[in-house]
Amino acid sequence: MKPVRIALAGPGAFGQKHLDALRRIEGVEVTILIGREPEKTRAVAENYGIAHTTTELDEALARPEVDAVILCTPTQLHAQQALACLSAGKHVQVEIPLCDRLDEGRAVVEAQRRTGLVAMCGHTRRFNPSHQWIRKRILAGEFAIQQMDVQTYFFRRTNMNALGEPRSWTDHLLWHHAAHTVDLFAYQTGSPIVAANALEGPKHPELGIAMDMSIQLKAACGAICTLSLSFNNDGPLGTFFRYIGTTGTYIARYDELVQSHSRGPETPVDVSEVAISMNGIELQEREFIAAIREGREPNASVAQVLPCYEVLDRLEQQLVRAG
């Protein structure tokens, strides 16, 4: 089997999560690592056995030994770098979010349609076994969502990444963290979002972003979603999904799922047989590689996730009008 040769841009916290996942997939070779800081990039490349490094995406795109690119770069670069990859004839997977401006997201979707290449966005919640278990029950007609209650909580009062290192760019509750839930809600209900409202707290004096946010969503099927987000929460950290449905209430914590009861303790749900791995990022990578090999549209293609960004754009306009 001819290997799929990958260039990965962004050797930071999530870039290394992708490299860990790629190690577990047969027939994949990471041929070049791209990073802004040469010494750090070389150190990560040595750790993962990657032969070449560069500070320039264009240099990697010009190499014939690159079939596809995974972008784990700052949010503000995602769309333009995805366009550069497609223009160079390379398949591309871009970490969430696809964009932080709707017009740029639409441009990526159009470029994918024009080139016919695989273009996918890292909406990992579609792949986490906990959420896949819920989806299988929905598709089997055994469960229907009445409400999703979601908490996305971090403690990031300074500009740090997931490794606790200084970040060169600003993260965003709406365009990054809310994107996970907005997309998952529409995906799991199988119904477009027809109403969306948002409120935000005070902006950080230095970062210029809201540190707390509340979002309400309603799908055409009637299901609702309430999402609370914060960079001010001092634990527990992460995102927690409560599925309130017709035949039960379930709580998903990344790759763990439990059933909640009005009386008695939570009951663990075995999700170990849902997929080939318990790692959502690995499952996401496997879908990207399979779509390239099979010449098909992947789950979480840029076209499939674009409606999420249309909702985020509406919410941003609402927040701007509210002042």
- pLDDT tens, 220-246? 999 999 999 998 888 777 899 999 999
Assess whether 132 and 270 both reside in one domain: yes
Task: End-to-end CA distance of the chain: give it in Å, rounded.
Answer: 56
* Residue 160 in tokens: 């740090």
Task: Provide the 3-class DSSP secondary structure of residue 107.
Answer: helix
179-202 as b/e: b if 16+ CB within 10 A: bbbbbbbbbbbebebeebebebee
Inside any domain, residue 314: no
Contacts of 228 (CB under 8 A, 6+ apart): 150, 151, 152, 153, 213, 214
Q: Based on the number of CB atoms within 10 Å of its own CB, is 116 exposed (0-12), middle (13-18) or buried (19 or more)?
A: exposed
Residue 207 is predicted with a pLDDT of: 78
Decide if 220 contacts 194 (C-beta within 8 A): yes
Assess whether 42 and 17 both reside in one domain: yes
Assess whether 111 and 232 both reside in one domain: no
Assess whether 63 and 137 both reside in one domain: no
Inside any domain, residue 182: yes
d(Cα 184, Cα 294) in Å, to the nearest integer? 25
d(Cα 287, Cα 78) in Å, to the nearest integer? 20
Mean pLDDT by 10 residues, the chain (323 residues): 95 95 97 96 97 97 97 96 98 97 98 98 97 98 98 75 56 90 98 98 85 96 97 84 97 92 93 95 98 98 98 96 87
d(Cα 15, Cα 241) in Å, to the nearest integer? 25
Residue 254 is predicted with a pLDDT of: 78
d(Cα 239, Cα 42) in Å, to the nearest integer? 33
Contacts of 66 (CB under 8 A, 6+ apart): 5, 6, 7, 31, 32, 60, 90
Question: Phi/psi zone of residue 292: left (φ > 0), alpha (ψ -120 to 50 degrees), beta?
Answer: alpha
Assess whether 115 and 168 both reside in one domain: no
Contacts of 165 (CB under 8 A, 6+ apart): 12, 13
Inside any domain, residue 320: no
Quick check: bond before 298 cis, omega within 30?
A: no
d(Cα 11, Cα 138) in Å, to the nearest integer? 37
Number of domains the chain is built from? 2
CATH of the domain at 253: 3.30.360.10
Assess whether 253 and 148 both reside in one domain: yes
Residue 143 is predicted with a pLDDT of: 98
Assess whether 79 and 30 both reside in one domain: yes
Domain that holds residue 220: 128-274
Q: Which pTM value belongs to this model?
A: 0.93
Residue 163 is predicted with a pLDDT of: 54
